[in-house]
Structure 1
Amino acid sequence: MAKLEKFSSIYQRACERKGGPDAVELLLPDTLSAAQISEYSDAELLSVMSKRVFQSGFVWRVVENKWPEYEKAFFDFDPFKVLMLSPEQIQDRATNPTLIRHQKKTQAIVDNAYMVQQMTREHGSFAEFIAHWPSDDIVGLWQILKQKGARLGGNTGPYFLRSIGKDTFLLSQDVQAYLKANKLVDSGFTSKSGLKQTQKVFNEYQQQTGLKLAEISKIISLSVGDNHM
């Protein structure tokens, strides 16, 4: 791996591009404490997770506008009730014109309800499990969501975590471009080796600055390219 650029240089470049420190500060994402994340119910987590699955590849506004209908159709995303749906009821929801007609993403709600329920059984609380996962191996949590859940690979799992306030970096187009251009990652970003290299970069920047992963990720994206968020 190539030598890391000083983060102060990245920050300075972001400030120059965005109008100064105050402007950059306003663009930084919010995160929640472990105690705050622990307060989420399984239903709240399943709802946010399902919304992120549907927003992947869709116009986010369309999904947002339809979400009240999803809350009704899936019993406010109570995992136990979702898992009581029959195959015929799931199919009816997948073809319902008031929802989004997508069989696989609709089935993912059910599959992820099972995952949430299983994680709660194994760890006492899915929210607690997420809340106390260490930030220096956040890609490990991404992998668990991808392996145990449905349609949570790529950036969908990380976006879900960001949505509930968990501190995580995002592999936006600009962040990927920066890491590649500076030869900090020599593997694909979907490979274990590529994710491990990426985590190492963010860990070193976190030790160097004391910033959160989400803040580091955003500042890097603001310092280069087209600022794809």
Structure 2
Amino acid sequence: MTHESFKSLYQRAADRKGGKLALELLLGKRILGKKLLDDNAAEESISQLTDDRVLAAFTKQIFKSGFVWRVVENKWPDFEEHFFNFNIEKMLMMPEEMLERKAADPKIIRNYNKVKTIKANAQMMFDISLEKSISFAQFINDWPSEDIIGLWAYLKKHGQRLGGNTGPYALRLLGKDTFILSSDVEAYLRAQQIIDGGLQSKKSLTAIQAFFNTLQTQSGYNLTQLSRLIAFASGDNYVQVEE
């Protein structure tokens, strides 16, 4: 089956969003609810981040998964204080008893299973630093976008609770270019018969990556913009640019 071209996809999205100029504005923004915010993340080099910020991003996204995001944001300063600003070495030296005590503190979200991921993911990051003599931020930065699903798989296998969309959302938070398999994007991929099985199966992810790589070759847009474009062309049409 021949899949839809970038040109066709772009035109439909532009028609739904009030024209090409309006669409371009949307593609350069990130959406929070129905608000449009400047998206500066992609302009920053991930390699300049320290690994404590990477661990913080992983942890924040893990706690946001299945929970009210606003509550996580409101409590985040206490998370930073409780967990030594996510210093990798300090987290690795933290005894389990201390971790349990901190997980029970009402100042943070009391979920011990999620709290345990902080130390586990710190270990993953530390291991990469030892093995490759680079920061984990550099490791993420260097991973090629044409195999972003490979990075997803690495985080899922070697980290904790970074599978599904949690890892990709954390990467997006850090400024790594990645598509997101939202419900709108998934619906489009199924309608186009790009996938027909489980969304997270190796077969499906390989087909999805190949499709995004083709769109990228046709357009020059990054993966973040392309996944937004698909959502704008096929999802709920509620985000508009106000004149």
Fold similarity call, TM over 0.5: yes
Q: 1:66 matched to which residue of 2?
A: 75
Q: 1:92 matched to which residue of 2?
A: 101
Q: Is the 8 A contact 1:174 1:227 kept in 2?
A: no
Distance 1:185 1:228 in 2: 26
| TM-score between both structures, scaled by the size of structure 2 | 0.89
CA 1:227–1:102 in 2, change beyond 3 Å: closer, same or farther? farther
SS in 1 for 2:93: coil
Residue 227 of structure 1 and its aligned partner are, at CA, apart by 6.1
Q: 2:36 matched to which residue of 1?
A: none
Distance 2:115 2:202 in 1: 28
CA 1:205–1:54 in 2, change beyond 3 Å: closer, same or farther? same
Distance 2:24 2:131 in 1: 39
Q: 1:46 matched to which residue of 2?
A: 55
Q: 1:118 matched to which residue of 2?
A: 127
Q: 2:33 matched to which residue of 1?
A: none
Q: Which of residues 169, 181, 185 in structure 2 aligns to 1:175?
A: 185
Distance 1:70 1:14 in 2: 40
Q: 2:143 matched to which residue of 1?
A: 133
After TM superposition, the structure 1 = structure 2 runs for residues 28-47 of structure 1, keeping only pairs within 5 Å, are 28=27, 29=30, 30=39, 31-32=41-42, 36-47=45-56
Q: 1:218 matched to which residue of 2?
A: 228
Q: 1:18 matched to which residue of 2?
A: 17
Aligned letter for 2:175?
G
Distance 2:218 2:174 in 1: 26
Q: Larger deviation: 4-13 or 98-107?
A: 4-13
SS in 1 for 2:42: coil
Distance 1:121 1:69 in 2: 30
Report Cα offsets for 1:170-202 as digits up to 9, x if no partner. Answer: 000000000001101122111111100000000
Q: Which of residues 163, 181, 204 in structure 2 aligns to 1:194?
A: 204
Q: Is the 8 A contact 1:174 1:228 kept in 2?
A: no
Distance 2:237 2:187 in 1: 11
Residue 22 of structure 1 and its aligned partner are, at CA, apart by 2.5
Q: Is the 8 A contact 1:175 1:220 kept in 2?
A: yes
SS in 2 for 1:83: helix
Is residue 221 of structure 2 the alignment partner of residue 206 of structure 1? no
Aligned letter for 2:203?
S
Aligned CA RMSD, in angstroms, stands at: 1.6
Q: Which runs of 5+ in 2 are unaligned?
A: 31-38
Aligned letter for 2:15?
E
| TM-score between both structures, scaled by the size of structure 1 | 0.94
Q: Which runs of 5+ in 1 are unaligned?
A: none
Q: Larger deviation: 166-175 or 82-91?
A: 82-91
Aligned letter for 1:26?
L
CA 1:41–1:78 in 2, change beyond 3 Å: closer, same or farther? same
Distance 1:227 1:166 in 2: 26
SS in 1 for 2:78: helix
Residue 228 of structure 1 and its aligned partner are, at CA, apart by 9.7
SS in 2 for 1:5: coil
